[in-house]
Amino acid sequence: MVYIPVDIEKAIIRECSRRRLSKRTAKTYLYCINRFLLFVKKDLGHISKRNVRLFLEYLSDKNLSGSTLNVYHMAIRFLFIDILDKRMWIDIKYSKITKKLPIVLTKDEVKKLFNSIDNPKHKLMVELMYSSGLRVSELLGLRVCNLEIEKGYGFVRKGKGNKDRLFILSQKIVDKIIDLIDFEKLSYENYLFNSNRNSKYNVRSLQNIIKCTCREADIKKRVSCHTLRHSFATHLIEKGYDVSQVQSLLGHKSPETTMIYVHISSPNMINVKSPFDDL
């Protein structure tokens, strides 16, 4: 007999919390599951695998991407297996995801980006994001206590997948970080980057800084905060560091995820010579 929680939304949030899934994942699962339940219009105990297939086919007909369809599929599996304890094997094949190479800035474009930022704090944020390969959420979640400045590294605490990892600090920005801490009189537990209201810096504000600066620097590529992380990884591969080293710095679970940066690195830097040159 299928277990039906009194409050399905509370049950989903509680189970996500128990499994240490992020709040964003919980919110996404809730949205996908609610949309599925609105589609089937059935009691939880009477939903079948056919209902799941029809729903995913309905989404597919709306030309949703493979990755989006897979998120819905995972959310529905989570509902059946983890919430309802219903051992209904959903053997629907996952949708194929189109693999796109990430946008990467050249080193000259990175310099142009830095040189176009006048505000010292904004510039330091962008420099740190690039020089350490940090995600924007990791950058804005940094606290003074996470930094081992004299040793040239820091720690991401509870990053993606709720994991901790080490990141490197560029010697070029160490003094700037120290000056910022001293100038703003930041305590050990303070966020490194605070807004004018002395609260955690807003992600959207930093994204707008990147967007406006790229326009001023006449960089035509579609650049986001994450582009700096892609550029960091690609430039390390071009410099000769191996995939395992870059994987560790990025916090990737699998080396296959990191391998994409090998594919977009400069051919000369990874010792690939065109056969046409030998003709």
- By annotation, the residues acting in catalysis are 135, 160, 226, 229, 252, 261
Q: CA of 211: how far to CAs of 63, 113, 260, in Å? A: 29, 10, 25
Which of 35-56 are b and which e, b meaning 16 or more Cβ less than 10 Å from the residue's Cβ?
ebbeebeeebeebeeebbeebb
CA 194 to chain centre: 21
DSSP3 helix / strand / coil % (the chain, rounded to 5): 60, 5, 35
The residue written with tokens 């930022």 in the block is 117
Widest Cα–Cα separation across the chain? 74
Cβ count within 10 A of residue 108: 8
Find, among 119, 124, 120, 145, the residue nearest to 134 by Cα: 124
